[in-house]
Amino acid sequence: MIYFNCDYNEGAHPHILQKLSETNLEQTPGYGEDAYCKEAADLIRTLCHCPDAAVHFLVGGTQANLTVISSALRPYQGVLCADTGHIHLHETGAVEATGHKVLSLPSVNGKISARQIQMAYYDQANNDAFEHIVQPKMVYLSSPSELGTLYSRKELEEIHNVCRECGLYLFLDGARLSYGLAAEENDLALADLASFCDVFYMGGTKCGALFGEAVVIINQELQKDFRYMIKQKGGMLAKGRLLGIQFVELLKSNMELYLSLAKHADRLADQIRYALTQKGYPYLVETTANQIFVILPDKAIAALTQNFSVTYQCRVDDSHSAIRICTSWATRTEDVDSLIHTINTLPD
């Protein structure tokens, strides 16, 4: 079985393992107060053109989401997000477990618009019963989204502007950030993210590291005492340097490894997309990064999944379903060739 079901089936890029081995017996302070974490944070501040950003390294995405959101909000405040948002659907109510309501908005292809956010805000702010309604205070976006789509620079800027107008914090979940940055369609630089968002994170887990998400807090209001939050929520890694070391490897030399790994995955996804398109299969969602959401006849899916593991997404009609095919930094060219070969021979 060859896995195209997700982008975290393997360990880490060998350079990263190598570096972990080299530094293994060094003695460093714990809890992220070591020189590697400092170096990685400095790299990120430079890449973001934001010398005052606070940077923290957490092990995983759910931990990052719940820590950022519960740190930013007062108890009666909630977070707006797409109804496909990871925090809404796939984190077992982690945000609610910290006491905050996730205020879901109908999404189009995994995204929400500035206009929707604005309306949601004014619906509450102008409602006579406002104290009886959760106060929206933060917007959660993911880019690439859970459906593989990207926010454009223009969309993100509009959302940024609405957030400023309404006093909302903008938080972007970049668990797959590198795949977005490397996508053909992308017009957002990392520094744009830093100027549009109050807080965002750069994913490591899905992008070449063993684990790790780099939380970048731009807005100084949100920086205070964040380490208390990390510790309280169980997210402070004793040997924090493991995170620092990995992000230094990924991000040094202007994100050389981070982006090259993502380009690898995106290019292979393009090849798969080409084969699927040639075959005439329609897409559930049009995407350009490392996730493909394609609609296949059930028979074709049955044939495909004899040798390839993919993710079942949803039923489309009586005889068709959508699946997700995912490439990653670790995907082997020969496995893609093999997948394409199989696609070309799928039954109708």
Euclidean distance between CA atoms 245 and 250, whole angstroms: 9
Euclidean distance between CA atoms 321 and 47, whole angstroms: 41
Element (H, E) at 54: strand 54-58
122: number of Cβ within 10 Å: 13
Q: Which residue number, 28 or 260, has a Cβ lying nearer to a copy of itself?
A: 28
Q: How far is the CB of 10 from a copy of itself (least distance, A)?
A: 5
Q: Phi and psi dihedrals of 72, rounded to 5?
A: -85, -25
8 A C-beta contact, residue 168 and residue 162: yes
Q: Which residue number, 175 or 295, has a Cβ lying nearer to a copy of itself?
A: 175
Give every CB contact of residue 290 below 8 A, 6+ residues apart in sequence: 7, 144, 148, 176, 179, 262, 265, 266, 269, 326, 327, 328
Q: How far is the CB of 35 from a copy of itself (least distance, A)?
A: 13
8 A C-beta contact, residue 165 and residue 203: no
Q: Which residue number, 77 or 288, has a Cβ lying nearer to a copy of itself?
A: 77
CA dihedral of residues 278, 9, 33, 257 (deg, nearest 10): -40
Q: Which residue number, 34 or 266, has a Cβ lying nearer to a copy of itself?
A: 34
Q: How far is the CB of 198 from a copy of itself (least distance, A)?
A: 17
Euclidean distance between CA atoms 172 and 199, whole angstroms: 7
Q: How far is the CB of 30 from a copy of itself (least distance, A)?
A: 5
Q: How far is the CB of 22 from a copy of itself (least distance, A)?
A: 10
Q: Which residue number, 225 or 348, has a Cβ lying nearer to a copy of itself?
A: 225
Q: Which residue number, 74 or 318, has a Cβ lying nearer to a copy of itself?
A: 74
Q: Which residue number, 11 or 282, has a Cβ lying nearer to a copy of itself?
A: 11
Q: How far is the CB of 270 from a copy of itself (least distance, A)?
A: 22
Q: Burial of 141 by CB count in 10 Å (0-12 exposed, 13-18 middle, 19+ buried)? A: buried
Q: Which residue number, 42 or 123, has a Cβ lying nearer to a copy of itself?
A: 123
**Cα 3–Cα 8–Cα 9 angle in degrees, nearest 5:** 40
Q: Which residue number, 95 or 296, has a Cβ lying nearer to a copy of itself?
A: 95
The CA-atom distances, in angstroms, between 296 and each of 148, 149, 251, 268, 300 are: 18, 20, 38, 20, 6
Q: How far is the CB of 58 from a copy of itself (least distance, A)?
A: 8
Q: How far is the CB of 266 from a copy of itself (least distance, A)?
A: 20
Backbone CA torsion sign across 38, 44, 49, 54: negative
Euclidean distance between CA atoms 235 and 31, whole angstroms: 10
Biggest CA–CA distance in the chain, Å, is 62
Q: How far is the CB of 146 from a copy of itself (least distance, A)?
A: 12
